[in-house]
Amino acid sequence: METKRYILGTTAEQVRKMLPEGQIKRVALGAKQVALVQHAGSFYAFETACPHRRADLSTGFISPEGSVVCPLHAYRFSLQDGRLLHGGSCSDLRTYPCRLTEEGLEIRL
């Protein structure tokens, strides 16, 4: 499957302002909805639906340790690789590579 590349914003500073530390934002990239967050100065992109019961992760929160916490059952997933860190049996969270450049935030789906 072909990877699509998206750029959010036009400068690194603009991206930092659009995505304040720890606030999950839901954005549309083409036909796909993705959750974005800045944590400890790094940026992360992940699917918006929890793999357990499809709860909207953009209404969850980011733990101090760097995991996204589902608002429904408090399952925790690593921001770095989507691995299930705490919760019952469910699959890992799908994450998407992203990196901040001087031209904006590059996200690959």
pLDDT tens, position by position, 44-100: 999 999 999 999 999 999 999 999 999 999 999 999 999 999 998 899 999 999 999
Nearest one of 91, 71, 73 to 81, comparing CA atoms = 91
Is the pLDDT at 2 greater than 90, yes or no? no
Residue 103 confidence (pLDDT) above 70: yes
Q: In a 3-state reduction of DSSP, which class is residue 100?
A: strand
**Per-residue model confidence (pLDDT) at position 1:** 64
Residue 46 bridge partners (DSSP) = 35, 95
Using alpha carbons only, give the angle 41, 44, 46 rounded to the nearest 5 degrees: 160
* Nearest CA-CA partner of 97 in 58, 45, 30: 45
**What's the predicted TM-score (pTM) here?**
0.95
pLDDT at 101 over 90: yes
Cα distance between the two ends of the chain:
10
pLDDT of 16-41, one tens digit each?
999 999 999 999 999 999 999 999 99
Q: Are 46 and 82 in contact (CB under 8 A)?
A: yes
